[in-house]
Structure 1
Amino acid sequence: MRLEGKVGIITGGASGIGRGIALAMAKEGAHIAIVDINEEKGNQTLRDISQYKEGMLFIRDISKKANIHPIINEVIDKFGKLDILVNNAHASKQASFVETTMEMMELSFGTGFYPTFHFMKAAYPELKKSKGKVINFASGAGISGQPTQTSYAAAKEAIRAITRVAANEWGPEGINVNLISPIALTEGVEAWSENHPELYEQMVNNIPLRRLGQPEEDIGRTAVFLASDDSHYITGQTIMVDGGSIKIY
């Protein structure tokens, strides 16, 4: 029970990687507040994590800044503190560089970068009290510059930038701020693999470990480590949980 008594917020926690992290953390003893826009999947994940620890569910659009502070306030009212913030939610559309529109950029920054920025600022006073942990999300799309990922890559690299700044500024206060850059077999990837089996096989063959990560067992367990006392001396880092696809230093 590495997170016994801890309290965390996970954005985009209803499905995919967010759900995997919520389950992994709840099994380690953390109270988890899920933030998502999908009520059906959110309720299912809440039921699942509640088998291990009491949780909360917020069906909120976090692209609207006004929705963020009330979430944190309600979590504090219920559980008395905040130890862990996981900024996982992000939506984007693919297009070539020259076909990327301002609307696409606004979607990616509006659902990924700005909510991460606003949640970090809003959570800071509570994280300072608890000497808490922030886990943000990077992507190989930004690190390697994957084609057709202009808006997504730009927002993810912007998230990496503010994560490093916060790590430097908040380190003296005992707050750890890190990133996970994952490759995971989410529901969306599974659906895509069924429609494009040859492309899926090619992708897997380009991963040294020859498989995609599991949202709970691989990504979730890494998040548990970063949220636990075991990671006290790690901050400002991008942790590549991608089967060895990208090596950075």
Structure 2
Amino acid sequence: MGRLDNKVALITGGAGGIGKGMATAFVKEGAKVAIVDLNAETGKETIEILQQYEPECLFIQANLAEHDKLNDLVMQVVDKYGKLDILVNNAHASKNMPFEEVTKEVLDLSFDTGFYPTFYLMQAALPYLKETKGKIINFASGAGIDGNMEQASYAAAKEAIRGISRVAANEFGPYGINVNLISPIADSPGVQHWAKAEPEQYQAMLSKIPMRRLGELENDIGRAAVFLASADSDYITGQTLMVDGGAIKLR
């Protein structure tokens, strides 16, 4: 038996990178997974892979910045599977630039694709997670925790997500719902692109990681998400799990 047998998970940004890694880890543990992504091409490619493990997996193409449609997104999943056990808010878009150059448009991009979808999907999913005593996994970032340069808009949204996750952990706990966060450093396509463009910066970042490597999308980040989605984490809530090779040590 898998650790997520008979569980239904909704993962935003699930077509690539960390989202795909988590979705793959989930289906290998027995979950039925609905991935949400803006990119139709990668969504179709990923869902074909997932359906090799679980034929009932679902791909939903959606723009998470269209906030008025987020409730319908949750309903699509519940209508198909009859329930929702796990909500993973992974998707986020942002632009890097010096603090003094950040505009409202740049802030809006980060909040509209990251913070607001996380907030509204948590609200929309809550009635169904109450029924299943479900799990919510949100995403933090070292950009906010450590204050990475040129990532003001991203850091602001990520720390806002951490704030509402702690509030939700307190409010949802009596319903048996766990709310936790993952703060990863992963070998994602975006990081690989950055490594080629800025090899010196990449090596400097790598040298600060005690494990001296980036996290694997499925085996490191995905397996950590499986833990938080499973019964193994039933007595853990309101926490930020640093899946970053030891780069940041929270106190």
TM-score range relative to shorter protein: over 0.9
What is residue 65 of structure 2 aligned with on the other side? 63
Deviations 1:56-94 (A, max 9, x none): 111111111122111211111111100000000000001
Structure 2, unmatched stretches of 5+, are none
Aligned-residue offset at 1:140 = 0.3
**Aligned AA (2:191):** V
Aligned-residue offset at 1:195 = 2.4
How far apart, CA to CA, are the structure 2 residues paired with 1:75 and 1:154? 30
What is residue 48 of structure 2 aligned with on the other side? 47
What is residue 93 of structure 1 aligned with on the other side? 95
Aligned: 1:83 with 2:85: yes
Return 193-202 or 123-132, whichever deviates more: 193-202
Deviations 1:18-68 (A, max 9, x none): 000000001100000010000111111101111111211111111111221
Aligned-residue offset at 1:97 = 1.1
How far apart, CA to CA, are the structure 1 residues paired with 2:200 and 2:248? 22
User: 1:9 is paired with a residue of what secondary structure?
Assistant: strand
Return 185-194 or 12-21, whichever deviates more: 185-194
**Residue 131 (structure 1) aligned to one of 133, 153, 168:** 133
TM-score by length of 1: 0.98
Superposition RMSD on alpha carbons, in Å?
0.7
User: 1:226 is paired with a residue of what secondary structure?
Assistant: helix
How far apart, CA to CA, are the structure 1 residues paired with 2:22 and 2:69? 22
Deviations 1:177-226 (A, max 9, x none): 00000000001111221222222222111100000001111000000000
User: 2:127 is paired with a residue of what secondary structure?
Assistant: helix
Return 90-99 or 114-123, whichever deviates more: 90-99
**Aligned AA (1:43):** K
What is residue 36 of structure 1 aligned with on the other side? 37
TM-score by length of 2: 0.98
What is residue 216 of structure 1 aligned with on the other side? 218
How far apart, CA to CA, are the structure 1 residues paired with 2:201 and 2:75? 45
**Aligned AA (2:175):** E
How far apart, CA to CA, are the structure 2 residues paired with 1:69 and 1:89? 16
Residues 1-249 of structure 1 mapped to structure 2, 5 A cutoff: 1-53=2-54, 54-249=56-251
Return 122-131 or 58-67, whichever deviates more: 58-67
Runs of 4+ in 1 over 6 A off after TM superposition: none
User: 2:33 is paired with a residue of what secondary structure?
Assistant: strand
Return 121-130 or 185-194, whichever deviates more: 185-194
How far apart, CA to CA, are the structure 2 residues paired with 1:161 and 1:196? 32
Alignment identity in percent?
A: 60
